[in-house]
Amino acid sequence: MQTDSSFTFVLFGGTGDLAMRKILPALFEAHRAGGMLADSGKIVAVARHVADRAGYLEWVNEHVKPHVSKNGLDETAWASFLDRIDFVKIDLGKAEDFVLLRDAVSGLPGIRVFYLATGPSLFVPICRALASVGLNENSRIVLEKPLGYDLKSSNAINDAVGEIFAEEQIYRIDHYLGKEPVQNLLALRFGNVLFEPLWRREWVESIQITIAEELGVEARGDFYDNTGALRDMVQNHLLQLLSIVAMEPPHSMDSDSVRDEKLRVLRALKPIDPRDIGKVAVRGQYHAGVIRGNAVPAYATEPGVKPDSTTETFVALKVEIENWRWAGVPFFLRTGKRLADRVAEIVVNFRAVPHSALGASALRGGANRLVIRLQPNETIRLYCLAKQPGEGMNLASVHLDLAFDRFFREGQMEAYQRLLLDVINGRLALFVRRDEQEAAWRWVEPILNEWAASNKPPKPYASGTWGPAAASAMLAQHDTCWLEEEN
Asked whether residue 179 is marked as a ligand-binding residue, the answer is yes
Element (DSSP H or E) covering residue 277: helix 277-280
Q: Rounded to whole angstroms, what are the CA distances from 53 to 43, 85, 101, 327?
A: 12, 8, 13, 57
Is residue 89 marked as binding? no
Q: Name the H helices within 69-121.
A: 75-84, 98-105
- What DSSP letter does each residue of 160-225 carry, written as one string? HHHTTS-GGGEEE--GGGGSHHHHHHHHHHHH-TTTGGGSSTTTEEEEEEEEE-S---TT-HHHHH
459 is in an annotated binding site: no
> Is 318 marked within a binding site?
no
CB of 225 closer than 8 Å to CB of 231 = no
Residue of 237, 251, 287, 478 marked catalytic = 237
Has 92 been labeled as part of a binding site?
yes
Reported as type and span, the H/E element at residue 335 is strand 331-336
**Separation of alpha carbons 433 and 439, rounded Å:** 10
Amino acid at 27: L
Report the distance separating Cα 203 and Cα 209, nearest Å: 18
| 188 marked among binding-site residues | no
Residue 177 backbone zone (phi > 0: left; psi -120 to 50: alpha; other: beta): alpha
Distance separating alpha carbons of residues 126 and 347, to the nearest angstrom: 40
Instruction: Mark residue 221 as left, alpha or beta (left: phi above 0; alpha: psi -120 to 50; beta: remaining).
Output: alpha
CA dihedral 42, 45, 50, 51 (to 10 degrees): 50
Question: How many C-beta atoms surround the C-beta of residue 476 within 10 A?
Answer: 12
Residue 366's nearest CA partner among 241, 203, 250, 230 is 203
State the first-to-last Cα distance of the chain, in angstroms, to the nearest integer.
39
Buried b (16+ CB within 10 A) or exposed e, 262-277: bbbbbbbbeebeeeeb
Give the C-alpha separation, 120 to 28, whole Å: 26
Please list the helix, strand and coil fractions of the chain in percent, rounded to the nearest 5, in that order.
40, 20, 40
Neighbours of 464 (CB within 10 A): 20
- Residue 17 labeled ligand binder: no
Q: Is 63 a catalytic residue?
A: no
Q: Flag whether 381 is marked binding.
A: no
262 is in an annotated binding site: no
Distance CA 299, CA 221 (A): 9
Known binding-site positions for substrate: 175, 179, 213, 232, 337
Known binding-site positions for NADP(+): 48, 91-92, 145
Known binding-site positions: 48, 91-92, 145, 175, 179, 213, 232, 337
Residues with catalytic function: 237
